[in-house]
C-alpha cells in the first residue's frame, strides 16, 4: 500500500509549508485537557449517529477491519509548534460517512471522546483528503497519550480539531461547538489564516 502525501495542503491556502507564527519541532508534545483515559478492547465502541440514514456501531474488531489508508501529514498545534511528516494510518472520514449514508440536510459534524472532549467541523471540511480516524503513527499502534486507540487528524486545521480517543461522531443539521470552540478558540482554525482565537 502506498503512502499518500498530504503535506502540500498549504499550497491550497497560498501559504508556506510552515504556517505563520509556527515553529517546527522534531518532538511530539502531548496536549490533553485532563490526562489519558483508560479503554478496554472488549468494551470499546464507536458510534455514528444523527443525520444519517444508517446509524452505526462498531466494535474494536469491526472498526479495525475497515479499509485503511496511510498518509504523510503535517501537524500544527495552536500553541505554536508544528511537526512535519507524520505517517498516519487509519480509516478515512469519507468511508464512515459513506457507510452511514449521511442525510441530505447534514451540514456539520461533532466528534466526541472518552475524556469528555469534543470538537466540531463543517461536513465539507471533514470530507476532504487528510481527515482520518488514525490507528497507527509511523507504523506502530498510536500511542495512548496521542489519542490511541483511535484519534482524528485534520491537517488543514489546528490540531485541536482532531479529537483524541474519539468514540462518537454525530452528524448535525445545524452547527454546534465543541470543548475549545466554546472556550474561545477559533471555530474555523485555519493555520494559514492564523485563526487561533475567537472573540465572538
Ligand atoms: N480527546 C481529546 N482530544 C484532543 C485534546 C484533548 O484534550 N482531548 N486536545 C486537543 C489539542 S488542544 C491538541 S493541540 C491536540 C494535541 O494532540 P497531541 O497530544 O497528540 O499532540 O489534540 C487535540 N485533541
Ligand atoms: Mo491545542
What pLDDT was estimated at residue 1?
A: 63
Say yes or no: CB of residue 10 within 6 Å of ligand 1.
no
Q: How confident is the model at residue 102 (pLDDT cuts 50, 70, 90)?
A: very high
Section 71-95 average pLDDT: 98
Domain spans of the chain, in order of start: 3-12+21-26+42-193
Q: How far apart are CA 182 and CA 50, in angstroms?
A: 21
Q: Which three cell numbers stand for residue 195?
A: 485563526
Q: What is the CATH number of domain 3-12+21-26+42-193?
A: 3.90.420.10
Q: Considering only CA atoms, which residue is closest to atom 6 of ligand 1?
A: 32
What pLDDT was estimated at residue 199?
A: 75
Section 22-48 average pLDDT: 98
What percentage of the chain reaches a pLDDT higher than 90?
A: 98
CA of 165 to the centre of ligand 1 (A): 9
What pLDDT was estimated at residue 200?
A: 61
Contacts of 102 (CB under 8 A, 6+ apart): 51, 52, 53, 123, 171
Q: What is the pTM of this model?
A: 0.98
Amino acid at each position: 500500500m502506498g503512502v499518500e502525501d498530504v503535506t502540500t495542503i498549504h499550497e491550497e491556502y497560498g501559504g508556506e509549508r510552515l504556517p505563520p507564527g509556527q515553529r517546527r519541532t522534531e518532538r511530539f508534545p502531548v496536549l490533553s485537557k485532563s490526562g489519558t483515559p483508560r479503554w478496554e478492547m472488549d468494551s470499546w465502541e464507536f458510534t455514528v449517529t444523527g443525520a444519517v440514514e444508517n446509524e452505526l456501531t462498531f466494535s474494536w474488531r469491526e472498526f479495525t477491519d475497515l479499509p485503511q489508508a496511510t498518509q504523510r501529514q503535517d501537524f500544527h498545534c495552536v500553541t505554536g509548534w508544528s511537526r512535519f511528516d507524520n505517517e498516519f494510518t487509519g480509516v478515512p472520514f469519507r468511508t464512515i460517512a459513506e457507510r452511514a449514508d449521511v442525510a441530505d440536510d447534514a451540514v456539520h459534524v461533532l466528534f466526541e471522546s472518552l475524556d469528555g472532549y469534543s470538537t466540531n467541523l463543517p461536513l465539507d471540511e471533514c470530507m476532504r483528503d487528510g481527515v482520518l480516524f488514525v490507528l497507527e503513527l509511523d507504523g506502530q499502534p498510536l500511542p495512548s497519550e496521542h489519542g490511541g486507540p483511535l484519534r482524528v487528524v485534520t491537517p488543514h486545521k489546528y490540531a485541536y480539531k482532531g479529537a483524541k480517543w474519539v468514540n462518537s461522531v454525530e452528524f448535525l443539521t445545524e452547527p454546534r461547538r465543541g470543548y475549545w470552540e466554546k472556550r474561545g478558540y477559533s471555530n474555523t482554525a485555519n493555520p494559514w489564516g492564523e485563526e487561533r482565537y475567537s472573540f465572538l
